[in-house]
Amino acid sequence: MIAKFSDHGTGKASGVLNYLLKEKGEKGVLVPRAHAKVLYGDPVLTEHLIDTTSHKSKYKSGYLSFRERADEISESDKKRIMQEFEAIIFCGLESDQYDILWVEHADKDIDEAHPVGRLELNFVIPCQELRSGKSFQPYYEPADQKRVNAWKNIINSEVKTIKGEPLSDPNDPKRKRLVNPYNNHAPRPTPFDLKAYTKKDAEKDEETIANPPSRTLLEEAIKRRLLLDWQDGILMNRRMVMGRLEQWGLKINRGNSEKTLSVTSSKLTDKNGKPMGVRLKGGMFEKGFDGLRFRSHNKEWEQAVYDHRTNKNERKQLDEKNLATGIKIKEAYHQERYKDLATPEQLGVDKEVKQELEVAEPAPVDTYRTSLRPRF
């Protein structure tokens, strides 16, 4: 399982809700999306909270994506995952202080043998603390990523499928790839099979890189040619990869992350004549790329080290420590920001009305709390 957060969140709620719950039918009319269902929350309430807030950031959305199919994980485990995710995002807040909508998608990688697709647990969170109306930021990567990643690792190690198999671990060395093969239009499982890659194919890819017809074709051509160079022992680190890209006439953009590289071609522009960027993902484009690590004998050794029981225990202990520390820090932040809102005020009753109605002693404060969303 991996956790992803979207950068969008300043527009109307209809955009994200239509994506989650609807799809285009005949003549472009929106119809209920197949293989999508609301697991928790109220879409009407979520839409209202997003569209009525005055804050610039109106919502935060994202998803928990699984390699396993939706019918391979029990409903109770889905519930546990959603509850624990809320606990590590809304650290210290009570249920009437926030709203969240959960929508399951099961439409990825469906075929005749697999009528139920991979599981995605999508979420939408209005960026507003509900008691005060103050702005609320569910996720800020520099502050929250370490905590969320620690939780993700723990879930992947503890939750099992209905067959008792562990969840797929995105950190497992056997899942690391030199390039990410899953482009929008790429055939499954991958278009990057070098066994059948001929010199003529390489020359064709070089022509595509020199005169790219589209971003997708440019990205695929770059990755195939780089894989060939790695196989031939030419590219052994990120600096060599960047040099090769520049040799092909591509511009490496500033602001590259430690995980990706972004390049542009002067011959691939948008309607305004501005060069269009292509973001390259995979181990080859990461800051610490070491080409030797991906050789078969080195991968076997790295896999053995990763699978060793001692290393597994050390990783889990570190994740538990990072999670506990992160929750403590986030709770303190929430308590300081919303410190005057720890409990709602009791309902006041006019003296005359109280006498007329012969009101009994007030109930505990908890009685007056109104949960704005259904509980699990």
Q: Where are the beta strands (DSSP E) in 96-225?
A: 101-108, 118-126
Amino acid at 146: K
For residue 46, the number of C-alpha atoms closer than 13 Å in the C-beta half-sphere is: 26
User: CA separation (Å) from 40 to 68, 121, 151, 210, 313?
Assistant: 21, 11, 21, 50, 34
Give pLDDT, residue 301.
56
Give pLDDT, residue 6.
94
pLDDT tens, residue by residue, 212-264? 999 989 998 999 899 888 888 888 899 999 999 999 999 999 877 888 999 99
Measure the CA–CA gap between 266 and 274, rounded to whole angstroms: 8
- Those residues whose C-beta lies under 8 Å from the C-beta of residue 359, and which sit 6 or more positions away, are 349, 353
Whole-number average pLDDT of the chain: 85
Measure the CA–CA gap between 266 and 262, rounded to whole angstroms: 14
Give pLDDT, residue 364.
41
**Three-state SS at 248:** coil
Give pLDDT, residue 303.
67
The model's pTM: 0.71
Closest CA to 4 of 202, 230, 253, 259: 259
Nearest-5° Cα angle at 292, 66 to 278:
55
Output helix, strand, coil percentages for the chain, rounded to the nearest 5: 45, 20, 35
User: CA separation (Å) from 353 to 296, 341, 356, 362?
Assistant: 81, 28, 5, 14
Give pLDDT, residue 343.
55
Structure tokens at 171: 């950190």
Measure the CA–CA gap between 157 and 165, rounded to whole angstroms: 10
**Bridge partners for 5 per DSSP:** 62
User: CA separation (Å) from 71 to 1, 116, 253, 361?
Assistant: 15, 7, 42, 51
Peptide bond into 43 cis (omega under 30): no
In the predicted model, residues of the chain with pLDDT beneath 70 are 173, 175-176, 180-194, 294-307, 309, 341-376
**Three-state SS at 305:** helix
**Bridge partners for 3 per DSSP:** 64
Measure the CA–CA gap between 29 and 261, rounded to whole angstroms: 38
Give pLDDT, residue 296.
60
